[in-house]
Amino acid sequence: MALVRPLYRSWFRVEASGLENIPDDSGALVVANHSGTVAFDSVMTQVALLDDHPAHRHLRMLGANLVFQTPFLGEIARKAGHTLACTPDAERLLERGEIVGVWPEGFKGIGKPFSERYKLQRFGRGGFVAAALRTKTPIVPTAIVGAEEIYPMISNAKTLARLLGLPYFPITPTFPLLGPLGLVPLPSKW
């Protein structure tokens, strides 16, 4: 978390409101929109709950298979306590009183073009709703505003994405034109 806190506080200047809707000592399912080409939105949500919630709650994120299959990223996700986006894992965590985060738009949400910013994409199959209902856990709808601007995706190199086994390969005003420097997210107020 120490590496992303400067992004949260200074680069994105995140302003979290409504944290009082997250229980202090019981489980909840945080359901948020997904945006920004790279999933910084989920990490910033995690920092908000850990640093700004009165009970300093830890967010256990449900992630796609690709997250856990990616070298380095998968290890970080596992060590942080995140798990695959599957109903049994969600139910297990919710029954234990954990705060569970889900971004049901998945790759459709973060891989959409900038021209579709702030337009929700179709949700997945709804297993997260079933898990919350079965465990009698509250669902906390969450809106993330500001993440769409950090990597404005102007095109998707679909052929390259297919060759690399990725759901999309973003072309932004800075990436791949500026090489690794193009990976630095643009500052935006969240």
pTM equals 0.92
Q: What domains are defined for the chain?
A: 25-151 (3.40.1010)
Run means of pLDDT, 10 residues per run, the chain, 190 residues:
93 97 97 92 97 98 92 91 93 97 92 93 86 97 96 95 94 94 94
Dihedral sign from CA coordinates of 30, 33, 39, 43: negative
Residues whose CB falls within 8 Å of the CB of residue 110, separated by 6 or more in sequence, listed in order: 34, 35, 36, 37, 38, 39, 41
Strand ranges in 43-110 using DSSP code E only, listed in sequence order? 59-63, 83-84, 99-102
Q: Residue 176, preceding bond cis, omega within 30 degrees?
A: yes
pLDDT of residue 125: 78
Phi-psi region of 132 (alpha: psi -120 to 50; beta: other; left: phi over 0): alpha
Q: Could you give the residue ranges of the DSSP H alpha helices within the chain? A: 5-6, 40-47, 65-69, 73-79, 87-95, 107-110, 127-134, 158-164
pLDDT of residue 36: 86
> Strands 170-171 and 155-156, how do they pair?
antiparallel
